[in-house]
Amino acid sequence: MVCGILLHAQTLFTYKGEKVEKEEFLRAFYKNNTGDRSEQAMRDYLNLFIAFKLKVKAAKDMRLDTLPGQKNDLQNFRAQLEEDYTNDEKVILRLTREAFERSQKDIRLSHIFIPFDKNATRRAASYSNGVFVDTAVAFDAIQQAYSALNNKENFADVAVKYSQDPSVETNKGNIGYITVFTLPYVLENIAYNLNTGTYSSPYKSNLGYHIIMKTGERAAYGKMRAAQILLVYSAKPTAEEKTTQLHLADSLYSVIVKGGDFEALARQYSGERNAAATGGLMPEFGVGRYEPEFENAVFSLQKDADVTKPFETSFGIHIVKRIKYLPVATDTLQMNALFKDQVLQDSREKIAKEQFAKEVLNKTGYKKIFENDDLLWTATDSFLNNNRIIPSKKINGKTVLFSVDTIQVTMNDWAAYAQESRRTTVLPYNEMMKQFVSVSANNYYRNHLEKYDSRFRDQVTEFSDGNLLFEVMERKVWNKAGEDKVALKKYYEEHKSKYMWGESAGVIFFTVADKLTAEEMRKDIQTYLKKWKGLAESTSGKIIADSARFDLSQIPGNGADIQPGKLTEMVTDSADGTVNFAYIINTYKGPDQKSFEEARGLVINDYQAVLEEKWLAELKKKYPVKVNEKVFKSLVE
């Protein structure tokens, strides 16, 4: 009994068998009323909300929601909105927060890498030209390296002995500092979970086996915008070549420190692909993007415009100019803006999708019904080989394999999916079935999102009701008011005293595409006044002019220049950058009666209000409204 009273108490008002819960009203009130929260403000909004609901009810009774345009608009909106609700938002938020936290520090790593041919299937020990071509051999090598580390051998020595990373001979496995998003996410996880001085157990990626050691950490350096002059080495540079490039670099550096144009020198001498076009400007970068020698030199620059002395990397001789240093963002309010998009574009998104897929199976009540996998795979083989299902006592095309909520998925459905999938990929049947189950559940979930997510349902309902309101208002009020000329003129005659000119002016009103054009035309305004009617056409819409009588409040400027023969001051529209001003032809003191044509816009607005008020009164009779005052009072309290 108590439960029933509480449930009833949540209903704020009813109309013609429909109930509106207090939560729905509050959502709308707080969304559209950010200031006054008084009882009167709530009462006023409640009246507006009731009117809104009655109009939408009328639209549905008129079956306007079945119009093709309404259905298409709703479907398009729904499709756009689905993407926001078909990822696990909790996982994405966690990953975004994790990325933000990791961005606060850089960690220094050393790395042992044993590659393998991922397509190899034989298990013979084979080694050719310094590259392992068999996963078993690669596994044996990484285990040997791991054992050596466990026996307290120096990491650098073990890296030189076992690692097949091309740079190991020069860096002895030290890959320098990295930060968030530098490595694939799985390797980043391993690295950020290590303590300084410890190393990981072997990890198998698609490329080979990895052992990672954390050798240090520091507060994050942030990012850098820089430009460089790169004197490129050939593939196998000789000592003579290196000496020549170094002498050139010293000469260029001497010119730069004496005030030479860095950008011009980069265009002329830098061997980078785009240097001639960019003047040596590089994409913004953080740690872990380039070789440690390069990053150490650049990040050691103390202020913008500082230039490094020439230094060498495997690519050649560099001279780098610091353009702008970008410190690490430490404000958590910036977390989503800075990292959410990167999370969604990174391999992290796969984690969110996998987590979401598991939850979808649970939410949709997936249930496996046909348990004999061997028989199912045999029937699948039969179908793919013969293009038809050969029925037996235990399985045929109508056999139900699994259910998702209220739908049952049959052998026919699975056969069609398997046939289509085989055109693009070859997977074992059990893996293909996992995909099929996931796709089936996900499709059902997307098509019934309103059932599973109240936020999605509320947004779709809000859009649909808003669209219906526009449609029904056009039919019952706006079009009717604009098209009924007899009624409009009658209303004007009955309310003439409302439509009077006060202080006003006859003007030519100019709208100009930009400030520079506006300033130029004002210098020669008489030329434009003579041909104002054709300006839009002759200037391709860059200058638009219109002549009419306006109330002084409608004329741009502060009113100081409202005199015949004067130009008002220019006013720039912040939305699109257009500039407005007016040329004053004559002025009127008023009051003067506005003609019907002069008052037409105002008459239509006022007559629309009359029609709407009359229609709403009819709706309240047709759909009697009953407000639960106790619930309303509880909202105020």
Contact 634, 10 (CB under 8 A): no
Q: Where are the alpha helices (DSSP H) in 34-184?
A: 39-61, 68-85, 89-102, 135-150, 155-162, 168-171
Do 262 and 317 lie in one domain? The reply is: yes
Contact 477, 604 (CB under 8 A): no
Alpha carbons 236 and 245: distance in angstroms, whole number: 14
pLDDT number for residue 388: 82
Q: How many CB atoms lie within 10 A of CB 328?
A: 17
* Contact partners, residue 270, CB within 8 Å, separation at least 6: 228, 229, 230, 231, 280
Q: For all residues of the chain together, what is the average pLDDT?
A: 89
Do 524 and 423 lie in one domain? The reply is: no
pLDDT number for residue 123: 35
Contact 299, 221 (CB under 8 A): yes
Kindly indicate the confidence band of residue 130, based on its pLDDT and cuts at 50, 70 and 90. very low
Kindly indicate the confidence band of residue 134, based on its pLDDT and cuts at 50, 70 and 90. low
| Residue 320 or residue 122, greater confidence | 320
Do 201 and 244 lie in one domain? The reply is: no
* Contact partners, residue 504, CB within 8 Å, separation at least 6: 549, 550, 551, 552, 587, 588, 590, 592
Do 130 and 211 lie in one domain? The reply is: yes
pLDDT number for residue 587: 93
Sheet containing 223-232: which strands, arranged edge to edge? 223-232, 316-326, 311-313
pLDDT of residue 131 exceeding 50, the answer is: no
Residue 290's CATH number: 3.10.50.40
Do 109 and 211 lie in one domain? The reply is: yes
Do 109 and 215 lie in one domain? The reply is: yes
Q: What mean pLDDT do residues 285-312 have? A: 92
- Give me 579's structure tokens: 């500039």
Residues of the chain with pLDDT > 90, as a percent, come to 69
Q: What mean pLDDT do residues 167-196 have? A: 92
Residue labelled with tokens 């996992």: 434
Instruction: Convert the pLDDT of each residue in 444-503 to its tens digit.
Output: 999 999 999 888 999 999 999 999 999 999 999 999 888 899 999 999 999 999 999 999
Domain assignment present for residue 626? The answer is no
Residues of the chain with pLDDT > 70, as a percent, come to 95
Alpha carbons 338 and 329: distance in angstroms, whole number: 8
Instruction: Convert the pLDDT of each residue in 407-431 to its tens digit.
Output: 999 999 999 999 998 888 788 999 9
Do 209 and 291 lie in one domain? The reply is: no
| Residue where a domain stops, chosen among 301, 326, 351 | 326
For the chain, helix (H) and strand (E) counts, in that order, are 27, 21
Q: Which residues pair with 508 in a beta bridge?
A: 547, 583
- Give me 527's structure tokens: 């030329």
| Residue where a domain stops, chosen among 204, 219, 234 | 219
pLDDT number for residue 558: 63
Domain assignment present for residue 408? The answer is yes
Which pairs with CB-CB distance under 8 Å and at least 24 residues apart come from 393-396? 395/370
Domain assignment present for residue 18? The answer is no
Domain assignment present for residue 345? The answer is no
pLDDT number for residue 85: 82
Largest distance between two CA atoms of the chain: 103
The lowest-confidence range among 255-259, 354-358, 554-558 is 554-558
Alpha carbons 224 and 290: distance in angstroms, whole number: 12
Compute φ and ψ for 183, nearest 5 degrees.
-105, 160
Instruction: Tell me the one-letter amino acid at 233.
Output: Y
Do 203 and 242 lie in one domain? The reply is: no
pLDDT number for residue 435: 92
Q: What is the DSSP letter of 579?
A: E
Domain assignment present for residue 515? The answer is yes
Do 172 and 227 lie in one domain? The reply is: no
* 550, containing H or E segment: strand 543-551
Contact 299, 328 (CB under 8 A): no
Domain assignment present for residue 2? The answer is no
Kindly indicate the confidence band of residue 621, based on its pLDDT and cuts at 50, 70 and 90. very high
Do 504 and 584 lie in one domain? The reply is: yes
Number of domains in the chain: 4
Q: What is the DSSP string of 273-291?
A: TTHHHHTTBPPPB-TTSS-
Contact 210, 112 (CB under 8 A): yes
Domain range for 582 is 500-593
pLDDT number for residue 57: 96
- Helix, strand, coil proportions of the chain in percent (round to 5)? 50, 20, 30
Do 426 and 376 lie in one domain? The reply is: yes
| Residue where a domain stops, chosen among 169, 188, 219 | 219
Domain assignment present for residue 260? The answer is yes
pLDDT of residue 127 exceeding 50, the answer is: no
Domain assignment present for residue 579? The answer is yes
Do 181 and 244 lie in one domain? The reply is: no
* 218, containing H or E segment: strand 208-219
pTM: 0.59
pLDDT of residue 3 exceeding 50, the answer is: no
Kindly indicate the confidence band of residue 562, based on its pLDDT and cuts at 50, 70 and 90. confident
